[in-house]
Amino acid sequence: MTRGFLLGKFMPPHLGHTMLCDFASTYCDELTVLVCTRACEPIDGELRHAWMRELCPQARVVHYDQDVPQEPVDHPDFWTIWRDIVKAAHPEPIDFVFASERYGERLAQETGAAFVPFDPGRIAAPVSATRVRDNPFAAWRYLPAPVRAHYARTVCLHGPESTGKSTLAVALADHYATLQAPEYGRTYCEAFGSECDADDLRAIVSGHDAQLHAALRQANKLLILDTDAVMTAVWADMLLGYRPADLDQVTRTADFYLLCDIDVPWAFDGTRYDALSAQTTRQRFFNLCRSELERRGLPYAFISGNHDARLRSAIHAIDLRFPEIKEP
């Protein structure tokens, strides 16, 4: 049985890292990956460890989070320190050390292993973690799904029912060649009926959160949300007449909201509430929606007019908010 070892900061992981892990796993029988992080670094170490565990399920992935010398010039005992770190992470004998950097050769000598280089010229995956951090959208095609989810921007359609949110969400997703996460409340009500109590709203929030997690991993830089848990909190006010404390505690909000005006006719579609169709009720609902965004300090743009006007206004607002997503 042969044992292999590799280490890195993986800040963040990219295609070059996953190819290195796949290469090493094929080359040896057992692979250990050491994820080295420090508290001062810009991406949380526990998150990077979780990413690598997901991206390298065939390997033993170990996390080391102590603040130790990063370069030989930092400490006269640099290699002794790192030899001990590797020994603690991999107490068994190491047959191969894999790396794309020159340090791999010296690390192999220190651990009594053979050095196996992998793509040192970055030909297979011409990307670096520094480049990703500087502009993740320009390096998008080199990012694995969990890292894409970390960087993707979210735009949420917000406002009362029958204000064109679902139609606009589809059109925006098509314009930006990405995904839209449909309104989970509609999915839930179509399955279980529209008479919702507090527990039903909690189930809808759980569905929103799970759908967001799934869609972010596949989105193309931008994810369009057809409402979210912020809107569900407003629905509690409208349907229940009060707001349970847990429904007010939204754990994740969108990066940008598009507040849709009520200047379009209300239309019944099989799941909407007739009791909310009166203009005075719609106005109250809209006012609550706007107040909710302002109370939470969430950035938003006001969208009104017919479908074409709303689409143009929405695209303009999104492009102004996120110019970086248009990078090639």
pLDDT in tens, the chain (328 residues): 999 999 999 999 999 999 999 999 999 999 999 999 999 999 999 999 999 999 999 999 999 999 999 999 999 999 999 999 999 999 999 999 999 998 999 999 999 999 999 999 999 989 999 999 999 999 999 999 999 999 999 999 999 988 889 999 999 999 999 999 999 988 998 899 888 899 999 999 999 999 999 999 999 999 999 999 999 999 999 889 999 999 999 989 999 999 999 988 776 555 555 455 567 888 998 999 999 999 999 999 999 999 999 999 999 999 999 999 875 5
Burial class (CB in 10 A: 0-12, 13-18, 19+), 230: buried
Count Cβ atoms below 10 Å from residue 281 Cβ, excluding itself: 16
Residue 59's closest CA among 33, 96, 86? 33
Beta-carbon contacts of residue 110 (< 8 Å; ≥ 6 apart): 79, 82, 83, 86
Peptide bond into 12 cis (omega under 30): yes
Residue with tokens 């192999």: 108
CA distance 151 to 240: 36
CA distance 301 to 322: 13
pLDDT of 273? 52
Count Cβ atoms below 10 Å from residue 79 Cβ, excluding itself: 16
pLDDT of 181? 94
300 with 253: CB under 8 angstroms?
A: no
183 with 194: CB under 8 angstroms?
A: no
Domains of the chain: residue spans and CATH: 3-134 (3.40.50.620), 152-326 (3.40.50.300)
Question: What amino acid is encoded at 215 in this protein?
Answer: A
CA distance 158 to 140: 28
Chain-centroid distance, C-alpha 268: 35
- Cα distances (Å, whole numbers) of residue 32 to 11, 42, 56, 67, 250: 18, 24, 10, 21, 38
Provide the 3-class DSSP secondary structure of residue 5.
strand
Q: What proportions of the chain, in percent to the nearest 5, are helix, strand and coil?
A: 50, 15, 35
